[in-house]
Chain A
Amino acid sequence: MTGLLCYRLRWHRGMAHWVSGCLLLLLVSFVATLLLQPVAGLGLRQRLGLLMVIILLVQQITIWQWVSPAYLQWLHEASCVSGCSDWLWLVDLVAFWVMWAVAILGVLPMLTLFYEFTWWHGLWVYGVWCVVSPLLFVQLFLLRLLGLWMRSDLALVWVMLVPWVVPTLMMVLRLFERMLDGVGQWSDWSLLLGLQMILMFIFCHLLSGAVAKCYHHLRLQ
């Protein structure tokens, strides 16, 4: 499994989705901070929220670029021949997450500059992203797979995504509040982590079944 993860990391590095994603993240952040001048006029909460939303949008675009019909075909066929079987997509998603975790850490200084955060706030956003992003990636991956064979894919996808993202967003908002108030946050972190793990469990099982079904739809529609 580790060997395969190394190859999938190389694959993601070669495809350079993360490079275009990072550039897009910086570009959109730069434009947003220009349009919303002066950024200092925005509250810290608003700036943190803006950054999280921009990261979400950019990662959705990156996953849309990555998961193509040809990729789905490879994924299903490779699942059928590999010992990883139904969990091959998980290896790939872990590799994708690792690439993004390193990439975001790399652009964090620029982001803190754009949004006028302190280093502490930047690292705090990174920590929240690390906890929230695995589930988000799984959700986006699932929706992209469904979108490959549905007609009004993007609209449907957002309608389906929003209800599942709301609990996480509420939790993150609560964490923001606690952080700003300087109140102990450990219970909220634990709650957020627990919620992510439960939803992750549900979505992973959904996705395992969805890969084969989406492949069938794609081939036989």
Chain B
Amino acid sequence: MTILCRVSDLQLCWPGACRWNHECITIHTEKCYQIRGVNGVGKSTWVQAALGLLPSAKSVQWTRPVVDGVAKKPDFFFPLTVDRDVSMCLIEVIEQEYVLREGCSPKGRNVQHWLESLGLWDVRSVSWCRLSSGQRQLGRLVPLLYTRSAVWWLDEPWVHLDDKRKICMQELMAQHLCHGGAAVVISHDSFCNNVETMTLVRRSM
């Protein structure tokens, strides 16, 4: 197994910000890591700090893997937070995110395939703000179908999803792991047998 990323003793460089007690986490190919912890401990904050969205100490190192001859992007994937009041229709939000991530417009039939595979094709013309929470969550996960990023960082990805879609997304993740990827998932529930768990505990300041 190749090492994709190593996170050790992550700390936020911000006055009064939370700190955590945890072991170092080394992310290998074909592995899934679950981050657990009580509500409010700062799981999402930890992930955001690890991804460089928040000012953190330099304790995250990325490697550039080539897995099974497939050139993996050495960076990470995480779903964007789309404002729930956005009035663009679903298909426009999906296309816009593709342009942002890939730098070019998606092919129409690809978008149709992605939306059909997640059962969203029928609501493609519905405004984002009118979609149900589950549909919005699925919409945010659509980029998983085309991203080539090696490590997926997912913050409570199964929340609001029905059982069928949950299984569908878990199969997608299993496929990603089989192809030499890795996933770091914040979740309170057990979702997979072969998963390494890391529990965050808030450190006293």
Contacts and interface: CB of A to CB of B under 8 A. Distances in A.
Interface residues of B, number: 31
A202 interface: no
Contact of A14 (B53, B82, B88, B103): B88
Given A10-B92, A76-B53, A220 B99 contact: no
Interface in B119-165: 127
Nearest to B147: A81
A19 B20 CA distance: 47
Contacts of A74: 80-83
A82 interface: yes
Interface in A176-221: 215-216, 219-220
B50 to A, nearest CB: 12
Choose among A14, A216, A220 the residue with the greatest number of B CB atoms under 10 Å from its CB: A220
B54 A11 contact: no
A164 interface: no
B86 interface: yes
A140 to B, nearest CB: 20
A219 B83 contact: no
Contacts of A70: 81, 83-85
Nearest to B106: A3
Interface residues of A, number: 27
Contacts of B45: 219-220
A15 B87 contact: yes
**A-side binding surface: helix, strand, loop or mixed?**
helix
Contacts of A82: 100-101, 103
A97 B99 CA distance: 21
Given A10-B92, A16-B87, A81-B80, A220 B100 contact: no
A74 to B, nearest CB: 6
Given A70-B81, A80-B52, A11 B86 contact: yes
A150 B88 CA distance: 30
A24 B52 CA distance: 41
Interface of A: 3-4, 7-8, 10-11, 14-16, 68, 70-71, 73-74, 76-78, 80-84, 88, 215-216, 219-220
20 contacts: A3-B105, A4-B99, A7-B88, A7-B92, A7-B99, A14-B86, A70-B81, A70-B85, A74-B80, A74-B82, A76-B53, A78-B80, A78-B100, A81-B101, A82-B100, A82-B101, A216-B54, A219-B48, A220-B14, A220-B45
